[in-house]
Structure 1
Amino acid sequence: MTTLQSENCQTNDLNDLFPMSIESLRFPLDNSIQIIFTGYYNGYNVEVRSPEEITLLYHMGCFGKGSASRSRPALVNSDRYPEIIRKRQYLQRNNWYKKFGDSGCTLVSSTLLKELDELTAKIVSDGEKLKKKDIIDLVSSDEEFSHDDVDTENAVNQSFSTSEKDEITVVIPNSDSEEENYFAALKPQCCVNKIKMQEKLILTPEEAFFLAYGLGSLQVVYNNNILDLEQCWTLLCSNDRHFVDRYVVYHYFRSKGYVVKPGIKFGGDFLLYKDGPGIRHADYIIVIKSDTKQDDLITILGHVRVATTTVKEILLVEVLKPNGVTSKLPESLHLYHVKEVLLTRNIPMTINNDD
């Protein structure tokens, strides 16, 4: 059995802080000034819907993932580009807006689609001007490019002065097969997107209960009722029979300073990040041993092969349950213990003695 060194858990990244205000850490702790987030249980996960809460939770601990993003929520990205969709998608969104949108607002029809001919013509003309130059002044070239960029940006802002950047959608023609003729006749059009896909922060059950129980910074709402810790624990355990073991492992490694994420992509239960997903790749793949899983040699070699290919290491984790303890109340979690086994693959070097 090997244990992870405590110095490896230390990090200088400010994003690894827990979502708790530093000013609120006074003894005794005053719950009235503590940050409390709100999550909504949907039967599988817990959703955080407020944009401000989404930004805080992801920046202060890398909790959850975006519902419409791969990992990092789109709300956190400050340099987001306009969305590119097909024409059939745009028409379908217009139909949704007619059925479910505000009746008092006028729908932006297809007649208001503004082609980017003026902007394209300006880019082409600027490129021709640069080609005509025989001598390029390296000192003044950066300044000239910066002025052109400002003029282009001002033209776009004047054309869409009533719309924000995230409300503009680029519509391209429909095409089932992207051939050469399709790109030759491609004329993108800009429109105002009336149907906005709201980005939500999806918390796993382990993340949600850690925020509620471990940090006391999350309240879970289910059927318009705020659940207490006992009700939340019972609800999560009823939907996942392995929730107790998974949460014990999650709480254990989170307490050691690691950022814990789902590891189903790499064949494990969790992934351990020292600095967060946005800074570096995961260092360990967590595989939880249970009675329902077969730990034969082929399965172990498969885990080691995946870890070696992705430059990671395998941590076999076993949850030691005390005798006579029920999993209904979270007060018994301190009696659980976690055993770690680090798997390494030693490849002996072959020496060629034929020379």
Structure 2
Amino acid sequence: MTTMQTGKPDDCQNNDCSNLFPMTIDSLRFPLDSTMRIIFTGYFNGIGVEVRSVHEMALLYQMGCFGKGSFSRSKPKRHQSNDSPQIMRKRQFLKRNYWYKKFNTRSETTDSDLFFKEIDELSAKIVSDCENKNVIDLVSSDEDDNNITDFVSPQLDNYNASEKQDMVVVVANSDSEEEDYFANLKPQCCLNKTKLEEKLMLTLQEAFFLLYGLGCLQVVHADKVLNIEQCLELFTETDKHFVTKYVVYHYFRSKGYVVKSGIKFGGDYLLYKDGPGVAHAEFIVIIRNIVEKNSEFNWVSVLGHNRMAVTTLKKVIIAEVVQPNSEIKIPEGLCNYSVRELLLTRNIPVTLNDDFN
């Protein structure tokens, strides 16, 4: 039996118990002293905001667990260049060389010519695969061969310090777990022409919280720094439910939780008390907008979310967003929104009877 109950301070929050529901959303700007304020720079990439500076990436993640690494599960990692080359699989090295050749030729041709050329190549590949009655492969490249001699460096000492940082050690692929893998490793020192730098990826809600809530981020789009109103308009065009999601994000961030995406567990957000690197998330947040009548929210979906939470040792919180009745101006009117928590618990009648007996 699954029941709903309003959130209690002891169950789903660690803030002052005198702070009753519903809690209003307001903007708090820290630090109060403008001379101590640090302004980070993020770049809008179409789906989110990315931070490219290594020092800014470290500060944002260490001072609030904001964002995630583009190549990492959570904390961004950076290759330490201490005169030791990076070790790379042969398959990965060949794929990067394919990218280098493809995108270098892209700059030499116009966009229209390149578009029609790729269409012709793709059509020819589909016809060829259909005639051979094999599996159609649109992902692999023609560069996946065993020849990497063009990139092998016989004399590493002839390169200067900056060029040594571009060197990588290419080893064989580890497709099979054979005992003689390390005996036949045959490493080769090659020149890596495609460097992939890790970035800190911020969601739209995280970026707007840093911009509007804390005032420590500036968002750049099309070589132009956007203000709060322009960012709100851009983020709303990207995600039509941005305002509702941001209200819930701001709500739980104000309570001291680390809020992350919950798509892995079928929810909207995950709530951490200390961050992803310290302990697992305790709550899965499901957002419900009361004003939207056509929103699909029934007991079937509730039971599915609850089942997922039980198998992962978590609890489900349904965050109901109450919008003001009258038209308000955003973002000044965000303080008129309110959030109500519903904590889901699953009680099995057989277990309850055994406890009473």
TM-score, length basis structure 1 = 0.70
Structure 1 segments unaligned to the other structure (5+ residues): 11-19, 102-106, 115-157
Amino acid aligned to 1:178: S
- How far did residue 85 of structure 1 move? 3.0
Higher relative contact order (CA 8 A, sep 6+): 2
Q: Cα 1:236–1:97, aligned 2, differ >3 Å: closer, same or farther?
A: closer
In 2, the alpha carbon distance for the partners of 1:248 and 1:351 equals 42
- Number of the residue aligned with 2:319: 317
- How far did residue 193 of structure 1 move? 3.5
SS at match of 1:70: coil
In 1, the alpha carbon distance for the partners of 2:262 and 2:95 equals 35
- Number of the residue aligned with 1:135: none
Deviations 1:105-134 (A, max 9, x none): xx99313388xxxxxxxxxxxxxxxxxxxx
Amino acid aligned to 2:236: C
Amino acid aligned to 2:153: T
Amino acid aligned to 1:332: G
Q: Cα 1:182–1:171, aligned 2, differ >3 Å: closer, same or farther?
A: farther
- Number of the residue aligned with 1:285: 284
**Partners of 2:251 and 2:339 within 8 A in 1:** yes
Number of matched pairs? 286
- Number of the residue aligned with 1:304: 306
Q: Cα 1:220–1:288, aligned 2, differ >3 Å: closer, same or farther?
A: same
- Number of the residue aligned with 2:335: 334
Deviations 1:73-108 (A, max 9, x none): 0139999x975433243245346557759xxxxx99
- Number of the residue aligned with 1:46: 49
In 2, the alpha carbon distance for the partners of 1:300 and 1:192 equals 54
- How far did residue 351 of structure 1 move? 4.4
Alignment of 1:206 onto 2:205 = yes
Amino acid aligned to 1:255: S
SS at match of 1:111: coil
**Partners of 1:168 and 1:193 within 8 A in 2:** yes
- How far did residue 249 of structure 1 move? 0.1
SS at match of 1:319: strand
- Number of the residue aligned with 1:247: 246
**Partners of 1:3 and 1:341 within 8 A in 2:** no
Alignment of 1:178 onto 2:187 = no
Amino acid aligned to 1:240: D
> Percent of pairs identical after alignment?
52
In 1, the alpha carbon distance for the partners of 2:194 and 2:232 equals 36
- Number of the residue aligned with 1:187: 186
- How far did residue 278 of structure 1 move? 0.5
In 1, the alpha carbon distance for the partners of 2:81 and 2:13 equals 33
- Number of the residue aligned with 2:268: 269
Map 1:1-355 → 2, pairs under 5 A: 1-5=6-10, 8-9=14-15, 25-26=32-33, 30=34, 32-75=35-78, 83-94=86-97, 100=104, 109-112=151-154, 162=161, 169-174=168-173, 177-178=175-176, 180=178, 183=181, 185-191=184-190, 193-290=192-289, 291=292, 292-326=294-328, 329-347=330-348, 348-349=350-351, 351=354
Q: Cα 1:8–1:68, aligned 2, differ >3 Å: closer, same or farther?
A: same
SS at match of 1:280: coil
**Partners of 1:321 and 1:337 within 8 A in 2:** yes
Segment of structure 1 superposing worse, 187-196 or 197-206: 187-196
Structure 2 segments unaligned to the other structure (5+ residues): 1-5, 17-28, 106-148
Deviations 1:257-280 (A, max 9, x none): 000000000000000000000100
